[in-house]
């Protein structure tokens, strides 16, 4: 038992970043984590392992589809699945051990075990009760399923099971065309599986720019992904090695059955707050189970804060990290702040998709006058050289002031390019500011400048 200025519950990107900032600000800090390793969902079963598999499978795709075109002839690599999983596990280990190192460096105690809050100012881990002036809940989220769909993590899996399948399935059904479903669906499609994505809505990646949705779906279809849109999954029936998925098409209520070796349930995530004792403490939550917080991330109980996937907002690692830093600063008496209007979102398919700020749809809903500057990667020399000319950059700017309101990119390195637009938006830049900035040639970034030029007198290369 010990006394701390801050105890953070959960060592995901929200919790571990918060703890490091608390320690840097001179607060005596501990983190409670029930998992065997630090890093939370993101490092263990989320962002990092999925990107490792996306990277490996993309290399295979390049070898199969583009190497010969560049004069690189010979046999395409074959897949050693065990080795690919070992590579992924090594990447996870390197990252989670890195957080352990940072904890030691910043003198943060790791209280191993599952924590609960018996009362404000106290955190119980196993038989020990620790005292803390401030408690920060960063307990994250867990996969959500559907009624009639029983997950066994072998045949019917969530993203967690999909990151460690025993073998590459011949046939895979993905329920849900959101970010996680499309990323992991892409991995297995590139590795040779016949992948069918079943989506309830008529569009993929709900909430994204409509033009990007259509373009991404077209490109993924061309790559070989099958889509069943407007379909409500009724149930799954699984044996030890196979499953049947029954769905109804919403347009005519007709019922269909599809077979699969693996069914990936990617229908979203819900906050994970089990065992913390929220009800007993009187901590208010939303209908969806998210912990309610004020502008300083404090819950309805003084001295208890919450951040990351456990509260409202996009379930993204960098959103959790930003809240972690800001909440730490609030606890230290500073003015932590998160600009929720400038949180980028990225889908790591090929091509990548990235967005920030308003969409055309949201601006229309607000009745706000805007202009659009769009540039196709087809006009970008670097993209053409690299067989990456599918897609575009679209910038939305205020019609009167030219201030950038949002940006949507589908194309090579979109997840990197978007940050130029995030910085511009943070600085309140106009599209003309970007258009007047010299961009190195030949880079993908030139497409961003051309889209900015398209908001004014017009791009050069189209
Ligand atoms: P988490 O990372 O969920 O961490 C919470 C931690 O708290 C967990 O380790 C848990 O064990 C621990 N915990 C919970 N309760 C207790 C307790 N009572 N006592 C002790 N410990 C407790 N986001 C991105 O931004 N980019 C991506 O590319 C991306 N890819 C993803 C891919 C997949 C397959 C998945 C599943 C998610 C992905 N995400 C991605 C989302 C991202 O992982 C989450 O938004 C992020 O991890 C949330 O961070 P967090 O700190 O709030 O919670």
What does the pLDDT look like over 48-86, one tens digit per residue? 999 999 999 999 999 999 999 999 998 889 999 999 999
Computed over every residue of the chain, the mean pLDDT equals 97
Give yes or no for residue 1 having a pLDDT over 80.
no
Angle at alpha carbon of residue 27, lines to 22 and 31, rounded to 5°: 60
125 touches ligand 1 (CB under 6 Å): no
46 touches ligand 1 (CB under 6 Å): yes
Give yes or no for residue 171 having a pLDDT over 80.
yes
pLDDT single digits (tens) 89-99: 999 999 999 99
Residue 443 CA to chain centroid, in angstroms?
A: 26
From the list 65, 337, 419, 441, the catalytic residue is: 441
For residues 216-244, one letter each, b for 16 or more C-beta atoms within 10 angstroms of the residue's C-beta and e for the rest, the string is bbebbeeeebbbbbbbebbebebeeeebe
Pure H helices in 253-402? 278-281, 317-331, 360-366, 381-385
Supply the angle between the helices 81-105 and 47-65 in degrees, to the nearest 10.
Answer: 140
270 touches ligand 1 (CB under 6 Å): no
Give yes or no for residue 24 having a pLDDT over 90.
yes
Q: For atom 53 of ligand 1, which residue has the closest CA?
A: 140
Find all residues with CB under 8 Å of 144, minimum gap 6, and list them. Answer: 267, 268, 269, 270
142 alpha carbon – ligand 1 mean position (Å): 8
40 alpha carbon – ligand 1 mean position (Å): 5
114 touches ligand 1 (CB under 6 Å): yes
Q: Mean pLDDT throughout 265-272? A: 97
Measured from the CA of 269, which atom of ligand 1 is nearest? 36
**Complex ipTM more than 0.95, yes or no:** yes
Measured from the CA of 115, which atom of ligand 1 is nearest? 19
Q: Which CB contacts under 8 angstroms, 24+ apart, belong to 23-27? A: 23/106, 23/107, 23/108, 24/106, 25/328, 25/329, 25/332, 25/334, 26/332, 27/328, 27/331, 27/332
CB 246, CB 255: distance < 8 Å: yes
Cis bond leading into 351, ω under 30°? yes
315 alpha carbon – ligand 1 mean position (Å): 8
Find all residues with CB under 8 Å of 214, minimum gap 6, and list them. Answer: 203
Measured from the CA of 125, which atom of ligand 1 is nearest? 19
Name the pairing type of β-strands 370-376 and 392-398: antiparallel
12 alpha carbon – ligand 1 mean position (Å): 5
Q: What is the pLDDT of residue 145?
A: 84
Q: For atom 47 of ligand 1, which residue has the closest CA?
A: 42
430 touches ligand 1 (CB under 6 Å): no
139 touches ligand 1 (CB under 6 Å): yes
178 touches ligand 1 (CB under 6 Å): no
Name the pairing type of β-strands 194-198 and 226-228: parallel
12 touches ligand 1 (CB under 6 Å): yes
Active site residue 439: no
| Paired tokens of 46 | 């989320």
Torsion of CA 78, 81, 84, 86, to 10 degrees: -140
Q: Mean pLDDT throughout 426-442? A: 98
d(CA 73, CA 373): 40
Q: What is the pLDDT of residue 4?
A: 98
| Paired tokens of 236 | 């799954």
CB 345, CB 356: distance < 8 Å: yes
* 3 state SS for 197-223: EECCCCCCCCCCCHHHHHHHHHHHHHH
281 touches ligand 1 (CB under 6 Å): no
Helix, strand, coil percent content, the chain, rounded in steps of 5: 35, 25, 40
275 touches ligand 1 (CB under 6 Å): yes
Per DSSP, the residues of 324-339 read HHHHHHHHTTS-----
d(CA 197, CA 386): 28
318 alpha carbon – ligand 1 mean position (Å): 11
| Paired tokens of 285 | 């939550």
Which residues, listed in sequence order, are joined to residue 311 by a DSSP beta bridge?
291
Pure H helices in 179-312? 179-190, 210-223, 278-281
Residue 114: φ, ψ to 5°: -95, 130
Mutate to test the pocket of ligand 1, among 46, 95, 290 (most ligand atoms within 8 A of CB): 46
Q: What is the pLDDT of residue 268?
A: 95
360 alpha carbon – ligand 1 mean position (Å): 30
Q: Mean pLDDT throughout 198-210? A: 96
CB 445, CB 439: distance < 8 Å: yes
352 alpha carbon – ligand 1 mean position (Å): 22
Q: Which CB contacts under 8 angstroms, 24+ apart, belong to 116-125? A: 116/275, 116/276, 116/277, 117/9, 117/276, 117/277, 117/281, 117/304, 118/277, 119/281, 120/281, 120/301, 120/302, 120/303, 120/304, 121/303, 123/7, 123/9, 123/32, 125/32
Measured from the CA of 307, which atom of ligand 1 is nearest? 52
215 touches ligand 1 (CB under 6 Å): no
pLDDT single digits (tens) 325-366: 999 999 999 999 999 999 999 999 999 999 999 999 999 999
For 254, half-sphere exposure in the C-beta direction (CA atoms, 13 angstrom radius) is 5
| Paired tokens of 325 | 């830093």
Give yes or no for residue 450 having a pLDDT over 90.
yes
Q: What is the pLDDT of residue 96?
A: 98
13 alpha carbon – ligand 1 mean position (Å): 7
């Amino acid at each position: 038992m010990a006394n701390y200025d801050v105890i953070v519950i959960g060592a995901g990107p929200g919790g571990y970043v918060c703890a490091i900032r608390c320690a840097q600000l001179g607060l005596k800090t501990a983190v409670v984590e029930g998992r065997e390793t630090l890093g939370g969902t993101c490092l263990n079963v989320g962002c990092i392992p999925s990107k490792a598999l996306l990277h490996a499978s993309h290399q295979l795709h390049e070898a199969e589809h583009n190497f010969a075109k560049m004069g690189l002839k010979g046999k395409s690599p074959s897949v050693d699945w065990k080795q690919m999983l070992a590579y992924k596990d090594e990447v996870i280990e390197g990252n989670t051990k890195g957080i352990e190192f940072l904890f030691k460096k910043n003198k943060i105690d790791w209280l191993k075990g599952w924590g609960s809050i018996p009362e404000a100012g106290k955190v119980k881990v196993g038989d020990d009760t620790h005292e803390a002036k401030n408690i920060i809940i960063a307990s994250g989220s867990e996969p959500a399923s559907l009624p009639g769909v029983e997950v066994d993590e072998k045949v019917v899996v969530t993203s967690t099971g999909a990151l460690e399948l025993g073998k590459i399935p011949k046939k895979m059904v993905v329920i849900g065309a959101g970010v996680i479903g499309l990323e992991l669906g892409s991995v297995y499609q590139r590795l040779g599986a016949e992948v069918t994505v079943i989506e309830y809505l008529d569009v993929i990646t709900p909430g994204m720019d409509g033009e990007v949705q259509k373009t991404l779906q077209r490109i993924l279809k061309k790559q070989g992904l099958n889509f069943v849109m407007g379909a409500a999954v009724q149930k799954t029936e699984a044996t030890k090695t196979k499953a049947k998925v029954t769905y109804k098409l919403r347009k005519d209520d007709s019922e269909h059955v599809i077979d699969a070796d693996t069914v990936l349930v990617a229908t979203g995530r819900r906050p994970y707050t089990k065992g913390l004792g929220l009800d007993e403490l009187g901590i208010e939550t939303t209908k969806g189970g998210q912990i309610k917080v004020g502008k300083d991330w404090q819950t309805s109980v003084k001295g208890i804060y919450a951040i990351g996937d456990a509260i409202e907002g996009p379930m993204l690692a960098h959103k959790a990290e930003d809240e972690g830093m800001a909440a730490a600063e609030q606890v230290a008496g500073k003015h932590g702040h998160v600009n929720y209007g400038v949180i980028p979102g990225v889908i790591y398919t090929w091509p990548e998709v990235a967005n920030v700020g308003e969409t055309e749809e949201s601006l229309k809903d607000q009745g706000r006058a805007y202009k659009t500057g769009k540039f196709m990667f087809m006009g970008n020399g670097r993209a053409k050289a690299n067989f990456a000319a599918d897609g575009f950059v679209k910038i939305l700017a205020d019609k009167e002031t030219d201030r950038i309101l949002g940006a949507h990119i589908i194309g090579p390195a979109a997840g990197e390019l978007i940050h130029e637009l995030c910085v511009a938006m943070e600085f309140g830049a106009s599209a003309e500011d970007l258009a007047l900035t010299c961009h190195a040639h030949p880079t993908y970034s030139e497409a961003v400048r051309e889209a900015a030029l398209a908001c004014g007198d017009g791009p050069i290369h189209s």
